[in-house]
Structure 1
Amino acid sequence: MEDSLELTLQMVIVVSAGISAQVIAEYLKVPSIVFLLTFGILLGQDGFGFLHPQQLGVGLEVIVSLSVAVILFEGGLNLNLRDLGKVSGSLRNLVTLGTLITLIGGGMAAHWLGEFPWSIAFLFAALVVVTGPTVIGPLLKQVKVDRRVATILEGEGVLIDPVGAILSFVVLDTILNSGADPQMIVIGLILRLGVGAVIGGVGGWLLGLFLKRADFISEDLKNLVVLAGMWGLFGLGQTIQSESGLMVTVAAGIVVRASSLPEERLLRRFKGQLTVLGVSVLFVLLSADLSIASIFALGWGSVFTVLTLMFIVRPISVSLCTWNSGLNWRQKIFLAWIGPRGIVSASVASLFAILLTQKGINGGDSIKALVFLTIMMTVFLQGLTARWVAQWLQLNPEANATGAVIIGCNPLSRLIARLFQERGESVVLIDTDPEACQKAQEENLRVFHSSGLDIDVLEEAGLESMGTFLAMTKNGEVNFVLAQRAAEEFAPPRVFAVFPRDPQTNGTNNKIKVNQAFVPELSIKTWNQYIIDGQVKLGQTALKEGEFAFQKAHLQALIRAGELVPLLLERDAHVQVAGASETWQACDRIIYLLHDPRPKLLKRLSGGTSASLLAVEILSEVEEIPIAIPFAEMAVAETN
């Protein structure tokens, strides 16, 4: 009874410490592994001594196996086959040739610099060929880089994990069975990967088919069905061919994602939460069992081994694997810099330390210590500097991406499209109304007659390279859904939608930020009618340092009165859609649309409302835009 109570308390401490580390890391915007390792070490044998993972016995191996299966399944579930296809050459090379380069380079470094025997050196190298999706994923959420680079890093992190884990077990088998034939070693590796891919592919397809047809199952229960099915496939793979289960989970995740399930968003969120829990528990448990003395006992040779892995082996691997990829030197440098190791390396190394000790082979604890040293150094040196490196290399898509994809071909959206086009930016309109599309074509605008939910159309429109997505149909709820889908699939730097209220503050907890365009409660129908009737003026004003407060107050008074809509915001030579929550700054240039019903102009000048007086006052200070474009419904007054 006392033993069970002690184990229960230990698991409570592990979960509490792990989730606390995640919360702190998210608040400080740093990789969570930094605090997970710190908390684990502080609570472990070399810290306060609250945690004793070895007391779990075989249970530790079970927790590690099932948690890693969930982590890799979630990684496969987040992979987009369309994006992977665009970088397939580089990705294939990194998973195959890159693995070989890391294995050879890491093995030589561990032997010559770390003074490990050849067998143990190559076992270490096999353990660290992986880059770790549990570190890469959160890192890329905090450090925004262009889509190709992010896809390569995410794809490598997920696909190389089962390859590295299986390779590690093959190398371990070779050590334990010194007479193993090299040919059988290669066959064993290929067989495990092949069996895992087949079982995962077929099982994932059947699972997706079942979920599509099982309408009687609630959405919450479907999440648990997927969890049970994934673990079932993992167990089947392990039974048929040992150590093939990791490949099974990755393949199953990719196929389930490709099945386009209606509940895909909820499923990915649920699996993401399980992954956070699994990573938190595993890192705290495994680092609690780590001996700090064993890390210091490695000496400087092991530090130089890791540095060689980071600054020589990784750059060589990236440069060779991306030779004809079309990536520029900035992208290649970032890929070479980012290679943090994660939970798969830590968990497999911990299991190997136990197995080698049981077999009476020296080096198990040293291997584990060196792997954890690699994790610490790569996470601290690469993970914490990734944002600075991305900024130095100018890989921030928000700063570089231009152009816009606009959903809706109404008069207001066509006007905004012309404004983007006049500034030399590419713009594409998408609408299901053939008549509206025809009007856009007559104005020499590029247009697609299709739904904004069609991913293939968005891809053909070039959204992946555009800086802005704007949904402005007449239905605000549809606009939000369209923007959310575009953000999930393409992650453009700026996502805007016209919607009547903010769903993100009304019970929807979503990491994907959809910005409200223009002003709150904008009536597109009303302003479209103003444009059709010619009752608008298009103007722009530069906010000046000395007059900033006065100008801002005047403009906002007109906005509140429903007389003015800010359309675009020009800042630092970049133009973007004016967001409803955007904070204006001095030196910004506001491009706006002003309601100007000409039959009522004399009444305004002779003493209308305060809002109308403000309109006249502002118009005397600003520059109207003389747009020389064939916009038939638009009436633009001459500048006085």
Structure 2
Amino acid sequence: MEDVALKLAAIGVAGIGAQWLAWRLKLPAIVLLLLAGFIAGPLTGFLEPSTDFGEIYKPVVGLAVAIILFEGGLTLNFKEISETSKGVRRMILIAGPLTWLGALLAAHYVGGLVWPAAIVLGAILVVTGPTVIMPLLRSAQLKQRPAAMLRWEAIVNDPIGALFAVIAFEVFLATQSANGHGPGEIFLNVISAFAFAIVIGYAAGYLLSRAFIKGHIPDYLKAPVLFTTVLLLFAVSNMILEESGLLTVTVMGITLANTRIASLTEMRRFKETVTVLLVSGVFILLTAALDWETIQSLDWHALGFVLLLLFVIRPVAVTVATIGAGLTWQERLLVGWIAPRGIVAVAIAGLFGASLVGAGVDDGQRMIALTFAVVVGSILLHGFSLSPLSRILGLKTTNKPGVLLVGGSKWSTSLARRLQAMEIPVTIADANWNHLSEARLNDIPVHFGDVLSEHSHHHLALNKFSTLIAVTDNDAYNALVCTDFGPEMGRSHVFQIGAYKEKSERKALSFTLGGRQLMSPGISYSELEQKTHEGWTFQSTRITDEFTFEKFQNSRPDGTHIVLWRKPDGKLIPGKAIDDHQPQPKDVILSFAMAKPEKEAVKVQTEKKLPDPKLPE
């Protein structure tokens, strides 16, 4: 028992350690998880999952995959699909099935798999893992349209590819249980299986949503109730109808995703946390379960299958699907090439591979090995080629991650103009069209709408921004915006005007709410607007070895506010941080102060023999 406990702890430490290291090194986590599983299993023999965990190994993997697919279903909002571009819809509705067809034929005729394993593998490889795509897109800095296509394909195909695999496996089970029966009876068995799973999954999702909306379940129990319901539905569905549990929980997740539950975002974050833990553990387990015999079975047939899938099947499927979709040939070429498979594909392959072996299909284990080969090959080839290929094709954006200003006003427009002068991309968002009029006259990009609305969630591409600053006249709304966007953008990258931390305990918000204070001392919206009307302006100044921060302070008018400063690597530091550390040489300070008279500015420049600090860098 102690040995098993130690191995479980080792799996947890290795999984989360690999996730953290991947974050630090800006690598896809799956690469390090694969390495950790290989070292723990085939290389050292420390882990032998089927022996170490015995009969509970397969059920535990099945339950973990069920939770992963349920979390994937929670991301599948039909409104989001309908609002995506024609190219994205065609990628899902046309390229997906074409990839399935091409992959299953290649798996059988080139990879050497029997038909049941080939059909299931083809369905699994429709999935392009979002856990792999997202880090690649963040580092590649693609233009908006190709990046959106790859991102939405990964998100939507995650549960759809799993559904394809469930369909293929249910058909296989129906044919096995209907030996000696005609195609009509087999078809009836498949339809019955799907009708059962869909009805149960939809009913469970609908009843839970009503219970949540009517307040029958307290908020602190909502996530645990979801978690246990997924486990119960998966187990009960499989007892009533073999291997129908995955479809049931996926349908339940999709049902909940398309209901108007106010607390769905919080529950989704909890599920994402659980999913990271499960994905890390399952991937290490499945990799460790590979034996040398299976690895050595990856001969030239496997190589031919991987190359055919990556270089022929995927590009052809995307080319056919995007005919007349309004994409350039460069975009079609890039999207047709980039399709890395990830953790979900391996997890589903491991589950169905073991089930196929249990049903007497020996190629089930080889199917798992081929999936690993595709995952490794696609990550290496696509991961290292995305950035240079996008640069060659002219699809790499030259823009740096920018600043999102929430709240249109004279002050925020002036700030946006100075940020643009510093070559920092900026967008102003506001739900009042009149508040954006001055920004539009100054050719500053704007977003018309409440950033907390569902519309903005679908249309405001947050990957373009590294920093958010809430600058409306409503302190409570600023805090709400920062609280909402904090988990997504990082709490160290959301700021707000005002001086919450300087208010009395009776009026101050909890430290868990809102963003970081932008300037020190804090200054209110009305004061900022008043100072702007009085002629205060923004200046950007570079600190050097000669022109130190101390000299900068001496050269500034009284009352100058340091808004932020930019490090050489592009990182933005709020002015409030001046209380803890000071700008260093090569940093660029953005300050807000009363404009100096021109003669005085010339005098300071002459005396110090330094560039005018008001000039852009």
Q: Please give the TM-score of this superposition, normalised by the length of structure 2.
A: 0.77
Amino acid in the other structure paired with 2:226: V
Select the residue among 26, 48, 51 that pairs with 1:51: 48
Q: 3-state DSSP class of the match of 1:399?
A: coil
Structure 2 residue aligned with 1:77: 74
Superposed CA deviations along residues 474-513 of structure 1, whole A, max 9, x for unmatched, are: 455632432454577899xx9764364799xx97699xxx
Residue 608 of structure 2 is aligned to residue 622 of structure 1: no
Give the C-alpha shift of residue 317 in structure 1: 1.7
Q: Distance in 2 between matches of 1:204 and 1:102?
A: 30
Alignment of 1:512-551 (within 5 A): 521-532=522-533, 534-536=534-536, 538=537, 543=542, 549-550=546-547
Structure 1, gaps ≥5 residues long:
606-610, 627-640
Q: Distance in 1 between matches of 2:116 and 2:238?
A: 25
1:222 has 2:219 as partner: no
- 1:102 partnered with 2:99: yes
- Contact map agreement 1:43 1:49 (CA 8 A) in 2: yes
Q: Which amino acid aligns with 1:40?
A: G
Q: Bigger shift: 123-132 or 463-472?
A: 463-472
What's the CA shift string for 1:579-602, capped at 9, x where partnerless? 64799899998775431598xx99
1:282 corresponds in structure 2 to 282
- Does the C-alpha gap of structure 1 residues 61 and 617 become closer, same or farther in structure 2, counting only changes over 3 Å? farther
- CA separation in 1, counterparts of 2:42 and 2:586? 58
In the TM superposition, what are the counterparts of 1:229-378 in structure 2 within 5 Å?
A: 229-235=229-235, 237-238=237-238, 241-378=241-378
Distance 2:391 2:67 in 1: 33
Instruction: Report what 2:506 is aligned to.
Output: none
Q: 1:167 deviation in Å?
A: 1.9
Check the 8 A contact 1:302/1:370 in 2, yes or no: yes
Contact 1:407 1:452 in 2 (8 A): yes
1:589-600 aligned at under 5 Å gives the runs 593-596=592-595
SS at match of 1:290: coil
Identity %: 27
Return closer, same or farther for 1:484/1:194 CA change in 2, 3 Å cut-off: farther
Check the 8 A contact 1:45/1:52 in 2, yes or no: no
Instruction: State the distance in 2 between where 1:97 and 1:298 align.
Output: 30
Number of positions where the alignment pairs a residue of Structure 1 with one of Structure 2: 597
- In structure 2, the residue matched to 1:630 is none
Q: Per the alignment, in what secondary structure is the counterpart of residue 269 of structure 1?
A: helix
- Counterpart in the other structure of 1:471: 470
Q: Are the counterparts in 2 of residues 70 and 275 from structure 1 also a CA contact under 8 Å?
A: yes
Find the counterpart in structure 2 of residue 638 from structure 1. none
Q: d(CA) in 1 for partners of 2:392 and 2:199?
A: 43
CA RMSD of aligned residues (A): 5.0
8 Å Cα contact 1:31/1:135 also seen in 2 = yes
- Cα distance per residue 1:306-351 (max 9 Å; x no partner): 1111111111122222334334444434433333334444344444
- Do the aligned partners of 1:136 and 1:154 also contact (CA within 8 Å) in 2? no
SS in 2 for 1:302: helix
Structure 1 counterpart of 2:326, one-letter code: G
Distance in 1 (CA, whole Å) between partners of 2:195 and 2:512 is 41
Q: What residue is the counterpart of 2:128 in the other structure? A: 131
Aligned CA distance change for structure 1 residues 69 and 388 (closer, same or farther; 3 Å): farther
Quote the residue 1:31 is aligned against.
28
Partner of 1:382: 382
Rounded Cα–Cα distance in structure 1 between residues aligned with 2:452 and 2:608:
41
Q: Secondary structure at the match of 1:110?
A: helix
Q: What amino acid sits opposite 1:157 in the alignment?
A: D
Q: Distance in 2 between matches of 1:397 and 1:40?
A: 36
Q: Residue in 1 aligned with 2:155? A: 154
SS of match in other structure, 2:593: strand
Looking at structure 1, the residues matched to 243 and 359 of structure 2 have their Cα atoms a distance apart, in angstroms, of 19
Going from structure 1 to structure 2, the CA distance change for 1:122 and 1:279 (only over 3 Å counts) comes to same
Code of the aligned partner of 2:375:
I
The match for 2:505 is none
Partner amino acid, structure 1, of 2:529: N
Whole-angstrom distance in 2 between the partners of 1:255 and 1:230: 13
Aligned to 1:15: 12
**CA distance change for structure 1 residues 167 and 528 in 2, over 3 Å: closer, same or farther?**
same
* Paired residues of 1:558 and 1:614 also in contact (CA < 8 A): yes
Between the aligned partners of 2:461 and 2:453, the Cα distance in structure 1 is 12
Unaligned runs of 5+ in 2: 503-509
TM-score of the two chains, using structure 1 as the length reference: 0.75
Contact 2:87/2:326 (8 A) holds in 1: no
Q: Higher mean Cα deviation, 297-306 or 122-131?
A: 122-131
